[in-house]
Structure 1
């Protein structure tokens, strides 16, 4: 093989690696993942009114999460927002798909998207500051969207939960008492 052919072969391999990395990074934009159902290890912890009961990916009807959704200390003293500068929202006022996501989080999955449960880095600084790995994000299904959409639930290690309908542009802390 001549050095020119070797250079072309290396360039083709590098290009293939770049394309493969891009496809991998964008893989879950097309919809729910297929195959694996293993849930990542994560802590347990308004645009539409409640409509007819929706179904979870497993086929079960949605229902309020049983189990703790706020820290035990907050449960004893009453819910207190972690950051008074953030607006709060009653869990019952969230879209039904957000409540479905909260049920999946409480159950530990399985989640419909591969990137659900990944670390949320809080780059925008809109949530209270904590060490890296403190927050995790989960997709809230957007009916009619061809990709993951802009709606997310972000959870903190202490059990706090936040809602964003605009892809981290703003957050509301979820009050599980109402």
Structure 2
């Protein structure tokens, strides 16, 4: 399990066109644009209001330029107009290598990594997990999330993690 110091100087907070820690400026999708969009836009009919004060937006990605490991839309959590968390669905075990390589290129070597066989899923391949602890935010890769076909990347500010944790401990 490799351990490094706080990774790369001035890591990039831009995640597939959405900037962590910046004002949420993604426009609403037009009719017919939600599934097949040529630009970033969010589904105005599908906004979740979280109990801890965040609004969660489902952001459609343009098909051109979207990395092959990305599955579906982004889930962007916003507090007081500021992007605090971005979740990216992945294609699970088949995409975890590409996702890990892209994240390592962007953020440097992970702070923590581990592999785990998903025996209940009858997988012959280990699921990869990786985390990056950065100055203002963290990045987490779950190679699979209960199914070998689904994985997740979370890019989250420390402030948002604390907000959720404090709410859950109430």
* TM-score between the two structures when normalised by the length of structure 1: 0.30
Which has the higher relative contact order, 1 or 2, with Cα contacts under 8 A spaced 6 or more apart? 1
Which structure is higher in helix share? 1
Q: Which has the larger radius of gyration?
A: 1
TM-score scaled to structure 2, two decimals?
0.31
Q: Report the structure, 1 or 2, having the larger strand content.
A: 2
